[in-house]
Each structure stands twice: as structure tokens, then as C-alpha cells.
Structure 1
Amino acid sequence: MPHGQPLAWPLLAALGSGLMAGVFFAFSAMVMKALARLPPAEGIRAMQSINVVALTPAFMTVFFGTAVVSVVAAVFALRAWEAPSARYVLLGSVLYVFGVVVVTAAFNVPRNSALAAVDPAHVDAAAQWTRYVSGWTAWNHVRMVAALGALVSFLFGLRV
């Protein structure tokens, strides 16, 4: 643990990263596969609903709160760079902020916005749904791996 770094910052960042990794894992391992098995119009409607419901205060607090906590932990790590754990804490912060938040904003949210505009009854809806599922899920895998990497990095930072 970097000298002067309160234990709470990397611990909270680890917990948030783990929670988000679990959410992303559930989507990659089950939710998207289940939605893809539905008729396209039903899958589209279900995902459109999920995308609206996901914007809850609880989810957004964990998602963005973990980013804020990660940045604070990174600042403490940079201030105590000579400590062996500082590199792990900084790596966890970078993985979460860039691998989760930036990837979400750059790749998943635009796909969600595009899907929101899709009329499930339109003739092109099935093709759009197929592209959405494959692209969204691929970037979700990236977020899952980044969140898991952040979790592991923060845990190493806590242990060293």
C-alpha cells in the first residue's frame, strides 16, 4: 500500500470493479445469449427496455463512483510512486477508467443509442439486431476483462 494512501480508496475501487465485472460477465455469459435466441423484434424490445432500466441511481453510482474512487486512488499512488503497491493501484485505475468507462462511452453507449432508434417491426430490424448483438457483446467482453484486471490489480495493491 503506498505510504499515505488510505486503505479505503483501493478497497472501494476493488469492490466497485468486482461488481462491474460481475454485471458485464452476466451480460456476456447469459443475458445477450438469451436475448439473441429470441425473435429479433422481441430481443430488440427487451434490450431497449434493459438500456432504459439500467440508468438507475444504484447502477450509475457504482459505475461512475468506481471511476471517481479509482482516480483518487491513482492520485495517491502517483504521490507515493516509490511504494511497490503504487504501480498496481495505478494500473487498476487505468484499467477501470479506460477499459470500462471509456470503452462504454465510445462503443457500447453509441450502439445502445442506435438501437433505441430501431423500430422492431422494420424490415431491417433483424439485420440491425444481429450486428448490435455481436458488436455490443464483443465490447462488453473488453469491459469485463478490464474490470477483472482492475479488480486483481487493486487487490495486489492492497496486498503488497
Structure 2
Amino acid sequence: MSPLLLLLQGAVLAYALVAGVFLSFSDFIMRSLSRTSGSAGVEAMQTINREVFRWVFMALFLGLAVASIGLAAYGGIVVRGGVGMLMMLAGSIYLFGCFGVTIFFNVPMNETLARMIAAEHATSAYWTGTYLPRWTFWNTLRTVACVLSAILLLMALPALA
């Protein structure tokens, strides 16, 4: 099996794994945190946002950003045609729809929440009025982007095998 094929298969798996993490937040974690009493949801999310920097998730998340640049470039420059376009789209959708959304939308909201005192009224207002709906919206977009990237790359695999 060629190294390129192994890399592409690994990228499909990594896209799907990251999508699964994001899906669980959009599907039930954020809803569960919103139903906790008092400041428990805020405190839990503040803790999650500190713990996310562990090596497994960050290696997948950041590694996929680098791999996506390579996939998009390789697809456009070397492979070309329909398969090259699938590779370019898979890489670009992850870069903009997942990585970019994280950097420009989810992380700033996480940083704002981190600076807040969980038990304060202003924190509760931010949590329910801004953070929960907006963060979850952008997170769902990240989920869709990861799923699309995995699907597009899966579609390219048979032609490269």
C-alpha cells in the first residue's frame, strides 16, 4: 500500500474522530450543561476548555490542519481532475470550516468564559444568552465540516488505490 493511500486513510479516520468529538458537544453535552443548576454548567465548560489542550485531541486537531494544507495542495498540484478537486475540497473545508471557525469563533468565546466568575449574574446572562446558542451553532458547523471532509476524502480513495 502506498504511503499516500495510508496518509489519506489516516486523514479520513482523523476527520471522523474530530467530528465525533464535536458532534457529542452539539448533540448532548451542551444541552446537558445548559440544564444544570446554578453555575455548574459554566464551571464544567470552563474545566473542559482547560482540559482540551491534552495531547491526543490537540495532535488530531492541529495535525489535521497541517495535513489538510498538504492534502489540498497535493490534490490541486499533483493529482488534479475530479479526485484532486475532492482532496482540495476536503482539506479546505477542514481548514476553514473547522480550524478557522475554532480560531475565530469558538476560542474567543471560550476565552471570554474563562475570564468570568461562574457564580456572577453577568456570567449567567452570557452563558445562556450568548455562549450556549452561538458556541453550539459554530460547533455544529465544525462538526459538519469534519464530516464533509471525511466524506470527500473517502470518495477520492478508490481512484487512488
Question: Scaled by the length of structure 1, what TM-score is found?
Answer: 0.92
Indicate yes or no: 2:152 matched with 1:153. Answer: yes
Deviation at 1:119, TM superposition (A): 0.6
Q: Which structure has greater helix proportion?
A: 2
Deviation at 1:31, TM superposition (A): 0.5
After TM superposition, the structure 1 = structure 2 runs for residues 15-34 of structure 1, keeping only pairs within 5 Å, are 15-34=13-32
Deviation at 1:46, TM superposition (A): 0.3
Deviation at 1:71, TM superposition (A): 1.4
More deviation, 45-54/74-83: 74-83
Q: Which residue of structure 2 aligns with residue 97 of structure 1? A: 95
Question: C-alpha separation between the residues in 2 aligned to 1:84 and 1:98?
Answer: 21
Question: C-alpha separation between the residues in 2 aligned to 1:123 and 1:103?
Answer: 28
Query: Over aligned residue pairs, what C-alpha RMSD do you find?
Result: 1.5
Deviations 1:98-123 (A, max 9, x none): 10000000000000000001111212
Question: Scaled by the length of structure 2, what TM-score is found?
Answer: 0.92
- Partner of 2:4, secondary structure, is coil
Question: C-alpha separation between the residues in 2 aligned to 1:19 and 1:157?
Answer: 19
Deviations 1:5-50 (A, max 9, x none): 8213322221111011100100001100100001241110000000
- Partner of 2:116, secondary structure, is coil
Structure 1 unaligned residues grouped into runs of 5+: none
After TM superposition, the structure 1 = structure 2 runs for residues 2-13 of structure 1, keeping only pairs within 5 Å, are 6-13=4-11
Deviation at 1:81, TM superposition (A): 4.3
Indicate yes or no: 2:122 matched with 1:124. Answer: yes
Q: Which residue of structure 2 aligns with residue 142 of structure 1? A: 141
In structure 2, what residue type is equivalent to 1:89?
M
Identity %: 34
Structure 2 unaligned residues grouped into runs of 5+: none
The question of whether the paired residues in 1 share the 8 Å contact of 2:113 and 2:123 is answered with no
Question: C-alpha separation between the residues in 2 aligned to 1:121 and 1:6?
Answer: 51
The question of whether the paired residues in 2 share the 8 Å contact of 1:5 and 1:76 is answered with no
If asked which structure has higher relative contact order (CA below 8 Å, sep 6+), I would say 1
Deviation at 1:77, TM superposition (A): 1.0
In structure 1, what residue type is equivalent to 2:67?
V
Equivalent pairs, count: 157
Question: C-alpha separation between the residues in 2 aligned to 1:81 and 1:59?
Answer: 30
